[in-house]
Amino acid sequence: MNIIIQTINFRESTELKDFIYDKLDKLTILDPEIIRMEITLKEGAKNNPSNKWCSLYISHPGENQFVKKRAGTYEESIILASETMEKILRRNKSKKIRDRKSSLKILKQM
């Protein structure tokens, strides 16, 4: 799995990079089929107090997921994006399990 970090108009620190890897590792536990994660950090308008944007794009077989969140700091926006992506991955996982159970039920009826 590849993790691609892109920062626009600033250079990320090693602490921020470690924080990103820590948060994204939790997502790989939920969905081990993830091929690539792309995270983009950028600053929005100067007059807005919550102007730190985090875009998270996950590529895995079947369908891709995208989340974009903003907050006062990059760490907060990363947390918001990863929590939202975690909800999406959990929802997709439960949907797959439900579909698998219903297909097994249909096969048993035959």
91-104 mean pLDDT: 77
Q: For residue 78, what are its two tokens?
A: 């990363």
What is the average pLDDT across 54-80?
92
> Residue 33 corresponds to which tokens in the numbers above?
């089929």
pLDDT digits (tens, 9 = 90+) for 25-60: 888 888 888 999 999 999 887 777 778 999 999 998
d(C-alpha 91, C-alpha 87), whole Å: 6
Residue 14 neighbours by CB under 8 Å, 6+ apart: none
pTM: 0.83
What pLDDT does 96 receive?
Answer: 78
Instruction: For residue 62, give the 3-state DSSP assignment.
Output: coil
CA dihedral sign of residues 43, 3, 75, 15: negative
Distance of CA 89 to the CA centre of its chain: 8
